[in-house]
Copies of this chain bind each other. A is one copy, B any other.
Amino acid sequence: MRVSKKLLWIGLPLATIAVGLAFGLKSFANPGPKMPNLTAAQAGVKVVTLARGLENPWGLAFLPNGQLLVTEKPGRLRFVDSAGTLSEPITGLPAISTDAQGGLLGLALDPNFASNQRIYMSFSEPDPDMPERNGTAVLRARLSGAALTEVTVIWRQAPKMESDYHFGSRLVFDREGYLYVTTGERYIGMKDAQKTNNAIGKVVRITTDGAPAPGNPFLQDAAGFDEVFSYGHRNLQGAALHPETGVLWTHEHGPRGGDELNIIRPGRNYGWPEITYGIDYDMSTITEYTAKPGMEQPIHYWVPSIAPSGMTFYTADKYPGWKGNILIGSLAHSRLVRLVIEGEKVMQEIQMLGELEERLRDVVQGPDGYIYLLTDNEDGRILRLDPAA
């Protein structure tokens, strides 16, 4: 009984996607049925709450000592121990804009954290002279007990804009030790996403000092920003290195539908807002085009939107059949999305955990091989997925 239901649930969305792709559908009022949801039991997992009481947690990292480090959107950084106890906020953070989507957001440990205790965080930084303007920025700091020291803002998205939306903010180190920063187009800068002479709607790649990374695609282009790695993006809240190729994969929010999964290649244009599978903005057309020459196609897209946040490639063996899959959190449907991939193709999509009814903000594989989730809530939780007995 359970098996046949599972097949049905998996088959239906695949058929939907197949039909959508085949006909290039871009319908108006009814973007099609929502993907079925597998409960935790149906997905073969058990959801364990490790900690609660985090206010809109955004980024999660595992420290070598077994503790967790968590950013909270309102501008706090905390330790969480294995008993789920939250520390007092770690001191030393700079001024942060916390209106709407702004706040303390992405988090990454230095590849050499064990020796240098350096961490990196992205946040929405107000312009000191015009505080109604802000932009994504990345700070580097040393974690010294319960304090940040040597706090340096190593990179600032230019230009700062008067907007509280679309800050991107995932931080991912590549294998050469350079840092990818995903940004957003600040909602009001959609047309800037198509230009390379700004950092709006871009994936950027920098050194740990914030300098443009060697090999970046626009270094030789007098007009292009040296830190830009790819452009034509809307708002990227998920990014991860492919475990075999080392290439960056990202997802981004579409306007209303049209969320995308992309493979990021240097200097490429991912099309926003010239092309999108999003059907419209408040029911009015943004663009009629889903493809144009010189613009990259997503390898997967969602209509309606799942509002993706957080992303990881699963590389361990705790859950049968998940190895090599992509896991993505969904804010919209409060679900965990599992994508089965082969090479650069998405073969199957499974959505699960909708019964939690919580927006999922980050998805991280722990050093123990288990999946950890952050729920986006005023009483946000850290969840661990255990294999069902």
Contacts and interface: CB of A to CB of B under 8 A. Distances in A.
DSSP class of A's interface residues: helix, strand, loop or mixed?
A: loop
Given A29-B333, A132-B191, A253-B283, 18 more contacts: A28-B331, A100-B284, A100-B287, A101-B285, A163-B191, A165-B281, A165-B284, A187-B188, A187-B281, A188-B190, A253-B282, A256-B256, A256-B282, A282-B305, A282-B307, A283-B305, A283-B359, A284-B307
Contacts of A332: 28-29, 283
A286 interface: yes
Interface string A249-292: 00001111000000000000000000000000111111100000
A255 B256 CA distance: 10
A334 interface: yes
5 contacts: A100-B285, A162-B191, A188-B189, A283-B332, A284-B307
Interface in A143-171: 162-163, 165
Interface string A297-315: 0000000010100000000
Contacts of A235: 282
Nearest to A99: B287
B331 A284 contact: yes
A256 B163 CA distance: 18
Contacts of A190: 188
A333 B283 CA distance: 9
A190 B163 CA distance: 9
Interface size class of A (residues with CB under 8 A): 20 to 34
A129 B324 CA distance: 53
Interface of A: 28-29, 100-101, 132, 162-163, 165, 187-191, 235, 253-256, 281-287, 305, 307, 331-334, 359
A359 B188 contact: no
Nearest to A286: B100
Nearest to A162: B191
A334 B165 contact: no
Nearest to A237: B284
Contacts of A189: 188
A132 to B, nearest CB: 8
A94 to B, nearest CB: 23
B28 A359 contact: yes
Contacts of A165: 281, 284, 286
A33 to B, nearest CB: 14
B283 A307 contact: yes
A235 B190 CA distance: 18
Q: Which 10 residue pairs across A and B have the least CB separation, nearest first?
A: A283-B307, A188-B188, A283-B332, A253-B282, A283-B331, A101-B284, A29-B332, A162-B191, A29-B333, A282-B307
A220 to B, nearest CB: 27
Contacts of A334: 28-29
Contacts of A359: 28, 283
A188 B188 CA distance: 4
Nearest to A287: B100
Nearest to A190: B188
A334 to B, nearest CB: 6
Contacts of A188: 187-190
A280 to B, nearest CB: 8
Contacts of A307: 282-284
A331 B279 CA distance: 13
